[in-house]
Every structure is written in C-alpha cells, then in structure tokens.
Amino acid sequence: MKPETTIAMIFFYPTLLLVIMNVFLYVAMGLLLLISFLWSLTNYLKQKRESHIVAKIQELENVMGNPQFLYSNLNSIKQYVLLHSPMEAAQYLTEFSNLLKSISVNSKQKNISLAQEIETVILFLELEKKRLGERMEFFQEIETNLNTETIQVKPLFVFKQIEDLIQKQSEHATMKIHLLVKNVGEKLSCRTEGVIPNTTFIIEIPTK
C-alpha cells in the first residue's frame, strides 16, 4: 500500500465515523422531539376531552330541577363515563342534561300535557337502554286516534312510576318494558301487567 493511500485512510475513517455519529445524534434528537410533541398532543387532547366532560357535569348541576333524581343516578353516570369513550360519555351527559331540563321545566308547572310526560319518560328509557345495553328492551305503543296533547296530567305522574319500575327490574339480568297508552277505564291511571322482568306499563286514559 502506498504511503499516500495510508495517510488518506487515516484521515478518512475518523471523518466517516464523525459523520455517522452526527447523523445518529440528529436522528436521536429528532425522535426525542417527535416523542415530546406526540406526548404533549396526547395530553392536550385528553385535557380537552376531560374539560368537555366536566363542562357537561357543571351544566347538569346548573339545570338540576330534581336533586334527588340526579343524586340517585350519580353512580350510573360515573359507571357509564368510566366504561365508554370520552365522546360517548359526553353524548350521554348531553342527553342526561336534556332529561333534567325536561324534568325541571315540567315540575314547575301545575299541569302538563300527557305528550310532554311521555316525552320525558321516553328520554329516560332511552338513557337506561344506552346504559344497560342488551340487558334492556323497551318499546312504546300509543293507541290510534288518541290525542295526548290535549290530555292534562300532573308533572312526573308517569315518570316516577316508570323510574320505580326500572329500579325494581334492574336486579334482573334482563328486562323488557312495553309502554302502552290506551283509551280505557273511568279515570286516568297507570298500572303494570306481566311478571318482572317482562312488564307492560299501561297508561289508561278515561273513555269519557
């Protein structure tokens, strides 16, 4: 090997090694910056979702017209939030807020239409269905030619009985509720048929 070649190699290899080390250093710095960015972004999105959920809970507290109903459902809300994604939890809290608004508005009235009462009951049943999933089935049936808008009832007249029915049936693995509104009897009343957990809840409207 020529002396010139030996000298060139002596200078070449350290230079190549230095270049490789610099490349690895820049790559490592780039990875650290990327990891730091992704970590910051994840924390930001998490905080944003959590703040959205907190805002929804505060909204519930602001519209709370029936504290006892909210307090009795806090465990159910907490369980749903923990078991579902932030988006699903926020949607659930929004719907629960709508239910509380309906209860708050209705409870301040002397009388409301049966249509309003049924709407509140359906909101509640839909939330329970969402919370219990396949454990619960419900469907509603309103007799034809029955104008629920003109029939006046006391606020929460039906709701409280439905809520009580759900609490009794929640001990079972599954429950089926058939909400039936029909023209029968001499006075406005509610009653149940069937054996828990397969129950028909009947709202009887006076025929006269």
| 92-135 residue pLDDT tens | 888 888 888 888 888 888 899 989 999 999 999 998 888 888 88
> Do 58 and 130 lie in a common domain?
no
Q: How confident is the model at residue 2 (pLDDT cuts 50, 70, 90)?
A: very low
> Do 96 and 39 lie in a common domain?
yes
Whether residue 63 has pLDDT greater than 80? no
**Residue 154 phi, psi (nearest 5):** -75, 140
Supply the mean pLDDT for the chain: 75
> Do 34 and 115 lie in a common domain?
no
- Give the residue ranges of DSSP H helices in the chain: 3-63, 67-83, 86-107, 114-132, 159-169
Domain count, the chain: 2
> Do 115 and 104 lie in a common domain?
no
Report the pLDDT value the prediction gives residue 61, as an integer from 0 to 100.
Answer: 53
The residue range of the domain holding 146 is 111-208
Q: Show which of 108, 133, 165 is a domain's final residue.
A: 108
> Do 25 and 119 lie in a common domain?
no
> Do 87 and 130 lie in a common domain?
no
Q: Show which of 108, 126, 146 is a domain's final residue.
A: 108
d(Cα 176, Cα 180) in Å, to the nearest integer?
13
pTM, to two decimals: 0.65
> Do 120 and 206 lie in a common domain?
yes
Whether residue 4 has pLDDT greater than 60? no
> Do 159 and 101 lie in a common domain?
no
> Which residue would you say has higher pLDDT here, 144 or 42?
144
